[in-house]
Amino acid sequence: MLNFIVDNEKCVQCNQCVTDCPASIIRFESGVPAIAPSREDRCLKCMHCLAVCPTAAVSILNVTPEDCLPLKGNMPSDHQLETLMKGRRSVRRFKQENVEKDLIDRLITLSANAPTAKNAMQLQFSVVDDLDVMRKISKHTYKLVAEAVADHRVPEEMSHFRALSRAYAEGFDIVFRKAPHMLVVSSPTTGSSPMIDVGIALTHFDLAATNAGLGSLWCGFAMQAFTHFVPEYKEILGIPEDHNAAYSIMFGKPAVKYYRAVDRRFQAIHRVKF
């Protein structure tokens, strides 16, 4: 049940919820917007109808306008957003302490608001929220990598793990960077754009973590290690078996402080003319 409810006293029949519905399932019935039961299964659960209503008359999926943040007066300024986007850094030095679980939960909840193709929302957020657990995962991963190196089972395209394994034996963690926490976002590959969905969600988390004063690192080495050397990594991380699109971010309280944003003006821009 969608529980699409319209407050008749607040509704001004502006037609915005009808016009903006991507699935075109809202109709006027007896002068009030409504969704017929026969059309409910076509709902994308995007909640555009709730967000676009100027008089806060629409509720859906048991979410009311009172549950939602108003946009007016609460958006960051252009300067604030530019500072955040330019100022985030890839952090590779972390304090060896846990981040508060309430903060982690809030950041993941923010990330879950990221768009997905067709609004499928099939992502899973697998988080390591305890430093001790993270250390155990790191130790286990490096153990299996070392065994693969010793048994000459490291494929040539993964040859860099020989050097990474040697570095770990000397006290340098280049894969996980001794991060206290890890977030892996995964998706089944049956969707329209699973890896893009994963990337967008992690980008939301990356920016939210930066804004909260945390450091984060997109970690391809970790996913390479898991997929090539840790056959039971899905079981360890609780990732569904059919989730074959996944990527990871390490995060925690940074042990380094950056003082200014940078401007990557060297990125190529091509202006299309037709």
Angle at 193 between CA 108 and CA 250, to 5 degrees: 35
When the pLDDT of each residue in the chain is averaged and rounded to a whole number, the result is 96
pLDDT exceeding 70 applies to what percent of the chain?
100
Task: Say which CATH number the domain at 39 has.
Answer: 3.30.70.20
Give the C-alpha separation, 123 to 201, whole Å: 9
Query: For the segment 190-244, what is each residue's pLDDT rounded down to a tens digit?
Result: 989 999 999 999 999 999 999 999 999 999 999 999 999 999 999 999 999 999 9
Query: In this structure, are 117 and 227 located in the same domain?
Result: yes
| Residue 129 is assigned to a structural domain of this protein | yes
φ, ψ dihedrals at 250, nearest 5°: -90, 145
* Four-CA torsion 153, 227, 206, 261, nearest 10 degrees: 20
pTM of the model: 0.93
Query: In this structure, are 48 and 97 located in the same domain?
Result: no
Domain of 59 in residue numbering reads as 5-67
| Residue 273 is assigned to a structural domain of this protein | no
Task: Say which CATH number the domain at 124 has.
Answer: 3.40.109.10
264 band by pLDDT with thresholds 50, 70 and 90: confident
Query: In this structure, are 111 and 235 located in the same domain?
Result: yes
CB-based contacts of 167, cutoff 8 Å, min separation 6: 173, 174
How far is Cα of residue 174 from the mean position of the Cα atoms in its chain? 23
| Residue 136 is assigned to a structural domain of this protein | yes
Tokens representing 44 are 């994308």
Q: Which helix (H) or strand (E) holds 6?
A: strand 5-6
Query: In this structure, are 181 and 239 located in the same domain?
Result: yes
pLDDT for 263 equals 82
Query: In this structure, are 107 and 179 located in the same domain?
Result: yes
Query: For the segment 96-110, what is each residue's pLDDT rounded down to a tens digit?
Result: 999 999 999 999 999
pLDDT for 265 equals 82
Query: In this structure, are 230 and 115 located in the same domain?
Result: yes
**Tally of domains within the chain:** 2
